Structures are given as C-alpha cells and as structure tokens.
Structure 1
Amino acid sequence: MDTEMLIGAGFETGTEAEEDILNPKTGETILHLPEAGSDQIDRAVGAAEKAFASWSRTTPAQRSNYLLRIADRIEAEADTFSALEALNCGKPVNAVKNDEIPAIVDCYRFFAGAVRCIPGNAAGEYLPGHTSMIRRDPIGIVASIAPWNYPL
C-alpha cells in the first residue's frame, strides 16, 4: 500500500519512526506508517504557503471542479476505500460501502456547490448606486489536528 506523503509536487516516505496501524478486530498490523519528520513538516508548510498565492486566485468554478473530481475518484475507488476502512475500523465492509462512502462523496459534492455561492453581507450603501459587501477571504494556510472519524 502506498503510504507516501504529498509535499509540494512530490511524494515522500516519512523519515521518523513507523506507527503500527492495527486492525481493532484482530489486533493484526495492517501496515507500518512512517511519521513525518520536522524537516518534512517544515517543507510541507512552505509548499502550502507557496501554493496559496495561486490557489487563492482560482475561481469558484475551478475549486468546485477539483472537489467534484475528488468525489468522483472516491466513488470510483469505493471498493478499495471500503476494504481499507473496514480493516482500519473493524466494521463490516458493507457498512462502509453503503453508509460512509456515499456520505463522504456527498460532503465533497455539497461543498463543490457551496464554493460557487460567494457569501457576503450587505454593509450598506456608502455611495449612491453602489452596494458595499463584507467579504471573508482566506489569508493563509492552517495546520490542525482534526479529530474526524466519520465519514471515512
């Protein structure tokens, strides 16, 4: 199984100790996942900062298209994702395929539509014939640990 990390435009294997990923049902090791080293994390953040300049200029249609492509790919690879998630979570493969896969695909498709709806609050008219709006635009990258386990 490919476990490399995307850093910039390339894939790399983690340089730190491997973490054993266990099947909770059997206790067997599914795979050994090398963790990222500090240098790799720094380079990933640097690559994200560099990419932000061009990404922030993409149109809503372009962003929507990327999200739809991810949804389509997950749907096309549903059997593979279902088998891996079943091993990783100890749940029946059919529960993953019939519950989680449709839910995650729906999330991507929902946000693909939402990204095309540019939000803004009317802030009043300061010049005759012109409406001012408050826009909230991204200003940079974020690193976070997201305690997310459903769907997928």
Structure 2
Amino acid sequence: MDAVRNVIAGESREPASGDWMDLVDPSTEKVYARAARSGGEDVDQAVAAAAEAARAWRRTTPAERQRLLLELSDLMTEVREALAEAEVRATGKPRGTALSVDVDGAVDAVRYFAGAARLLEGLGAAEYAEGHTSFVRREPIGVVAQVTPWQYPLMMGRASAATRDA
C-alpha cells in the first residue's frame, strides 16, 4: 500500500510519533493509502527547515524567483493528470473539476506569482523628513504551518500563496 510521508528539508521522513492513518477514497469508501499522522514535533521540524530555507530564498533575485516558479508550473503541467488523480482520490470530486479548477487553477496561480516576482514595488515613497526619502519595501517575513481541508488540498496551497508576496 502506498504511504504519504512527511517531506522536511527535502527529505522523505516517517512521522516522529510513528503513527499513521488510512486514506479513504470518499467515492468508494476504500482505503487506498496511508499517511503520516504528523504532530507537533513534525510541525516544529518542518517550520525550522522552512525558516532556514527562507533565509536563502530572501537573497534570491526576482529573476531567479521567477525562473524557479515557472519551472515549478511546468513540472505541475507535466504531471497534470497525476495531480488530478490524487485530487479525485482524496476528495471524491469529479475528474473534470479536479483538472480544470484545482490543477489548472494551481498552475495558473504559480505562473501569476512568477510574473509578480518581478513586479514587486513599494506602496509609496516620499520625503517625510527633510533630506530623507522614505519608502515601503515588501519582502517575505516568515513561515507558517497550515492544515488543509480534505476537499481542497491543492488549491489551499494556491490560497496560501495568494496571502503573501511572491
């Protein structure tokens, strides 16, 4: 049976607790895989690894961010059918919806943020104090952990991206 493991710092890992849960296809009510039942220790490790990765990401140029995001969208397009199949199995939704709304919507969002990576601009700049120019600089500020709802997993990644800068 397939197993969905945690991926932390680019490594596939067992859950710290050793606990697993069954993944059930809601349209057949059959178990099709098992998933790590992650807990606080797993989340702490993932957040620490993401915070470390964010230090390097902050130093990347807009051009490099755009290139990497476009590469990700191309990879998502290459595995479009597999992503849709995973959505269908996990949620029980119709395949057409999984393809057109979830997968294509997520690919479109990644491409949108790839373009936005080169268009970051300050909200305002002016001389508020004599001899000084003040401006607003938008930049990533941190890492979050998220629990996604069962019926919308891929698109929740898209929604999360929409709440922060590219």
Is 1:73 the equivalent of 2:65? no
CA deviations over 1:6-33 (Å, ceiling 9, x no partner) = 2124221223321222111111112110
1:26 is aligned to 28
- Measured on the aligned residues, the alpha-carbon RMSD in Å equals 2.4
Q: Which stretch shifts more, 3-12 or 23-32?
A: 3-12
2:152 is aligned to 149
CA deviations over 1:57-95 (Å, ceiling 9, x no partner) = 111111112211111111100111112211222123233
The letter for the 2-side match of 1:59 is T
Shift of 1:37: 4.0
Q: Which stretch shifts more, 110-119 or 13-22?
A: 13-22
Contact 1:104 1:151 in 2 (8 A): yes
- How do 1:1-152 and structure 2 match up within 5 A? 1=2, 3-16=4-17, 17-125=19-127, 126=129, 131-147=133-149, 149=152, 152=155
Alpha-carbon separation, structure 2, partners of 1:135 and 1:36: 36
TM-score (norm 1): 0.83
Q: Which stretch shifts more, 95-104 or 22-31?
A: 95-104
Instruction: Count residues in correspondence.
Output: 151
**Structure 1 unmatched runs, 5+:** none
Give the share of equivalent positions with the same residue, in percent. 31
Runs of 4+ in 1 over 3 A off after TM superposition: 144-148
Q: 1:100 to 1:141 in 2, by over 3 A?
A: closer
Based on CA coordinates, which of the two structures has the bigger radius of gyration? 1
Contact 2:91 2:152 in 1 (8 A): no
Report the 3-state secondary structure (helix = DSSP H, G, I; strand = E; otherwise coil) of the residue aligned with 1:117: coil
Report the 3-state secondary structure (helix = DSSP H, G, I; strand = E; otherwise coil) of the residue aligned with 1:121: coil
